[in-house]
Amino acid sequence: MNSSPQKKWGIIGDGQLARMLALAAYPLGIRPVMLTSDANSSGAQVCPLQVRGSTNSRTDLHALLSQVDFAIIESEFVNCDLLEATSLANKVIPSIGSLRTLQDKLEQKKLLKRLGISTSPFYEPRLGFHGFEQLLKETSSAKVLKFATLGYDGKGVCVLEGKSTDRSRAEEFFQVATDRKIQVFAEDRVDFIYEVAMVSARSSTGEIFHYPLVLSEQREGVCYRVCGPAVHFGVDSSLELLAMKWSQKIAEETNLIGTFAVEFFVTKGGSLLVNEIAPRVHNSAHYTQNAGFVSQFENHWRAVAGLPLGKTEAKGIFAMQNFLGPTGLFSKESAPIPSVTPAGSLHWYGKAGLSPKRKLGHLNVHGSLEQKEKLLKEVTSALISWEKETLRQIPPSPMEIKL
């Protein structure tokens, strides 16, 4: 594949990941064309070359792909059938074959099992909710229900907590999935002490580099904070080596090209289990924009264009704090831009409007090992100050709160 930066490149999607991909493209001499439905979207604000349209339209996808030599994705949840219907799907990186496997979490689990990579036991309730009820009778471990497709940021997940309300919650979850024609599967709930992630980049030439393993803190299923390298936060270095081995094995098996992420659990027994795979740039490596020598976004372009990958070591200790829409706050007004110290690097996404848990921007800090606690306090302080200022400027009103 001759996919050099001199070729014309497209980006399918227009959110914050597309925004950061576009910004990373320009220093490499790449001027991407973005498929966007809104000129004011986070991505479109920084990408003047655009095709106006929807990622869910075969006609609009064809319009973009007909203008470029190759295209990258912002989200793995692109419609592969629509892309193939354009007759131009061979321009998309990663390939449609890779995407079909990795956009389906149940197929991910089957892949991991086939490769001998540890993951939590999983089950396919073949008779919908009634099949799940039978599963509960046959097994004693706590369960997590998941959408096989289209689940992200805590959406499409139902954690059963051993309460009397579990049955009704599970039945409702299955009904939503049925209405959306989404398959549900179940997996054993993992008793873990850490959630960690590894972001890697694999080039079209076969070269693969790994960023450090990081701690990923989730709040209600959404990434809240990332810090690392994980080996400096209590994670054994042998687990980082194992994460590298498994990430490479997954990428080679699926012929995955570009930057991608593998999320893991570290169990109380000290074992590593793969949770999910994301075949794209990932929130857990946003810190690389400032604490890395080459960001995950630049390495994504390098990987798909067949350029040499940049170094993936970190500049000491780092933390990345997401700014998420405050709980209960719905507004058409935009959130205020946070005030940060000169030591922090703010990346704001330019999104209009507010809703709970919506990703609005992130703050990166980094320093020496001795500054670890100071850095964590700095991002926490910045977040608290921003939340207070947001609620001061945009107080919740009864009309804006959705019950």
Residue intervals in the chain for CATH 3.40.50.20: 9-93
Rounded CA-CA distance 197/192 in Å is 14
Global confidence as pTM? 0.93
The reply to whether CATH 3.40.50.20 applies to domain 9-93 is: yes
Residue pointed to by tokens 């004693």: 140
Looking at residue 138, its pLDDT comes to 63
Residue type, 23: L
Looking at residue 401, its pLDDT comes to 41
Greatest Cα pair distance in the chain:
60
The CATH homologous superfamily for domain 121-188 is ATP-grasp fold, A domain (3.30.1490.20)
Residues in the chain, pLDDT under 70: 1-5, 126-127, 135-141, 164, 396-403
**Chain Cα centroid distance, residue 37:** 21
Roughly what angle, to the nearest 10 degrees, separates helices 296-305 and 16-25?
Answer: 70
Number of helices followed by number of strands (H, E) in the chain: 11, 18
Residue intervals in the chain for CATH 3.30.470.20: 192-393
Q: What is the CATH number of domain 192-393?
A: 3.30.470.20
| DSSP string across 122-133 | EE--TTHHHHHH
Q: Which of 247, 210, 259, 302 is nearest to 94 (CA)?
A: 259
Looking at residue 1, its pLDDT comes to 52
Spatial neighbors of 186 by CB under 8 A, at least 6 apart, are 122, 123, 124, 125, 132, 135, 143, 144, 145, 146
Rounded CA-CA distance 289/281 in Å is 12
Residue intervals in the chain for CATH 3.30.1490.20: 121-188
Looking at residue 3, its pLDDT comes to 62
